[in-house]
Amino acid sequence: MALVNEHFLKLPNNYLFADISKKVNAFKVQHPTAGVISLGIGDVTRPLCPAVVEAIHKAADEMGTEGGFHGYGPEQGYAFLREAIVKNDFLPRGIHLDPSEIFVNDGAKSDTGNIQELVRWDNSIGVTDPIYPVYIDSNVMIGRAGVVNDGRWSNVVYMPCTAGNGFVPQLPDRRVDIIYLCYPNNPTGTVLSKDELRKWVNYALRNDTLIFFDAAYEAYIQNPDIPHSIYEIKGARKVAIEFHSYSKTAGFTGVRCGYTVVPKEVTAATLEGERISLHKLWYRRQCTKFNGASYISQRAAEATYTPEGREQVRQTIGYYMENARLMRNALTALGLRVYGGEDAPYLWVQTPDGEGSWRFFEQMLYNAHVVCTPGVGFGPSGEGYVRLTAFGDRDSCLEALDRIGRWLG
């Protein structure tokens, strides 16, 4: 008899977005002509930019020739892409990485979920709250999160991010083995200043803590003082692993490509106190369980670094950020308290009069025919907020704002 991994049974089986779509579908059945607009989606909508499309065509043509066919590639990704990453994403910020410290993957979700395999099951973890659910759920699956009580896991330290603390998480009052940070943040759309991020790196250096830093939205940063990478902070190379993705940067959610930075200096200890390089372990892990992102995806990713590619990517991000600006202005004018949306494609809106997230979600659906995401779905501190995304097209974004205005105005 095969015994199931019972940790999976602890996972909440009502997945947030499935719950939302059930409620939206129920509404649509009753109101078939309402023309519901979603400001809840976490997926991009603009087409791939021409430089990327051209690179995909070219790579596909190559693959159809005897000389240009590519089978299995190098485990860590092709050198052309890893070199372009080092040169474009890090060197201009004064960060010196070796291409061998880059691991190209099929998107950041896999690695942000898998990275925890490198550390023992009984490490403690700390997360900002609210949070991207992958970090906790991937730890639940192997039993590291403990038991759940009232939406909180016993072996997880929650660091609340709310309007009360300006969405700046407080350092934990005890030592935590592993900390997950995501900046710019999904779901709150807020960022950390260099000084704030430095506090985390220093905490990690002092406490021998490992930081998993998710930079999936770094391309959306507009303020020149906000760090794009944790390696902009001195000492971070010793304590941090960083995740990047072309998904939100360049619309690759359906193409699939990203990368993880594992500096050679990052280590974790054995029980005997010996320090083990996580770079070595991750390399070993990837060689065993991963056969690389496709040649075509990697050529597509490379194209985002050409002058045309960079400009085109910048324009698409500008389009979304203009949506965000319009949304911020319109919602603020209606008297709502709106956070984020300045260096990230997400707006985090406080519900009026302390209403519950789900109740406000339903009111917006029934009164304005607009879908948002209830903040409590991202963690206990998300209660009393909803998330709106700027990933829609301009016209539906404006129409949604108009409807919300008629409802609340």
Stretch binding ligand PLP (CB under 6 A), from 19-27, 106-114, 274-282, 285-293 = 106-114
Stretch binding ligand PLP (CB under 6 A), from 115-123, 245-253, 281-289, 383-391 = 245-253
Decide: is 182 part of the binding site for ligand PLP (CB under 6 A): yes
Q: Is 175 annotated as a binding residue?
A: no
**DSSP E strands: which ranges in 145-205?**
148-149, 152-153, 156-160, 178-182
CA dihedral 84→88→91→94, nearest 10 degrees, is -160
Options 107, 133, 377, 379; binder of ligand PLP; rule CB under 6 A: 107
Map tokens 């070199």 to a residue.
83
State which residue, 107 or 340, has the beta carbon closest to ligand PLP: 107
**DSSP secondary-structure letter at 99?**
G
Neighbours of 322 (CB within 10 A): 13
Options 108, 192, 230, 370; binder of ligand PLP; rule CB under 6 A: 108
Q: Is 123 annotated as a binding residue?
A: no
Decide: is 177 part of the binding site for ligand PLP (CB under 6 A): no
How far apart, in whole angstroms, are the C-alpha atoms of residue 150 and residue 281?
36
Q: Determine contact, residues 278/262, Cβ cutoff 8 Å.
A: yes
Using the Cα atoms of residue 180, residue 183, residue 187 and residue 190 in order, give the sign of their dihedral.
Answer: positive
> Pick from 292, 408, 279: which is nearest to 351 by CA?
408
Decide: is 320 part of the binding site for ligand PLP (CB under 6 A): no
Q: Determine contact, residues 322/106, Cβ cutoff 8 Å.
A: no
Decide: is 317 part of the binding site for ligand PLP (CB under 6 A): no
**DSSP E strands: which ranges in 86-187?**
102-105, 125-129, 148-149, 152-153, 156-160, 178-182
Decide: is 247 part of the binding site for ligand PLP (CB under 6 A): yes
CB of 129 to ligand PLP, least distance (A): 14
Considering only residues 127-146, where is the footprint of ligand PLP by CB under 6 A? 132
How far apart, in whole angstroms, are the C-alpha atoms of residue 320 and residue 215?
18
Q: Is 72 annotated as a binding residue?
A: yes
> Pick from 384, 38, 330, 339: which is nearest to 188 by CA?
339
Decide: is 40 part of the binding site for ligand PLP (CB under 6 A): no
Stretch binding ligand PLP (CB under 6 A), from 84-92, 102-110, 200-208, 388-396 = 102-110
CB of 227 to ligand PLP, least distance (A): 16
Q: Is 335 annotated as a binding residue?
A: no
State which residue, 46 or 58, has the beta carbon closest to ligand PLP: 46
Q: Is 154 annotated as a binding residue?
A: no
State which residue, 255 or 401, has the beta carbon closest to ligand PLP: 255
> Pick from 119, 129, 167: which is nearest to 151 by CA?
129
Give the residue nearest to ligand PLP (CB). Answer: 107
Decide: is 214 part of the binding site for ligand PLP (CB under 6 A): yes
State which residue, 110 or 357, has the beta carbon closest to ligand PLP: 110
Map tokens 């009580």 to a residue.
149
In one-letter notation, the amino acid at residue 211 is I
Q: Is 245 annotated as a binding residue?
A: yes
Residues 6+ away with beta carbon under 8 Å from 143: 7, 121
Options 109, 228, 299, 387; binder of ligand PLP; rule CB under 6 A: 109
How far apart, in whole angstroms, are the C-alpha atoms of residue 162 and residue 131?
12
Binding site for ligand PLP (CB under 6 A): 107-109, 112, 132, 182, 186, 214, 216, 245, 247-248, 253, 258
- Bind-site residues: 15, 42, 72, 108-109, 132, 186, 217, 245-247, 256, 291, 387
